[in-house]
Amino acid sequence: MGIKETIEIAAKNVGSQRKLAELLEMPEQTLSNLKNGRPHSYQLHAQIAAAGGMEEEARRILIEGIADQLDEKIPHEAEAKAGFLAMLKAFPKS
Domain that holds residue 51: 3-88
Q: Cα–Cα distance between 18 and 72 in angstroms, integer?
A: 40
Residue type, 34: L
15 part of a folded domain: yes
pLDDT tens digits for 56-85?
999 999 999 999 999 999 999 999 999 999
78 part of a folded domain: yes
Report the Cα–Cα distance between both ends of the chain, in Å, rounded: 8
84 part of a folded domain: yes
pLDDT tens digits for 9-66?
999 999 999 999 999 999 999 999 999 999 999 999 999 999 999 999 999 999 999 9
Q: How many helices (DSSP H) and strands (DSSP E) are in the chain?
A: 6, 0
pTM for this prediction: 0.89
How many domains does the chain contain in total?
1
38 part of a folded domain: yes
List C-alpha distances in Å: 10 to 16, 41, 53.
Answer: 8, 17, 7
37 part of a folded domain: yes
94 part of a folded domain: no
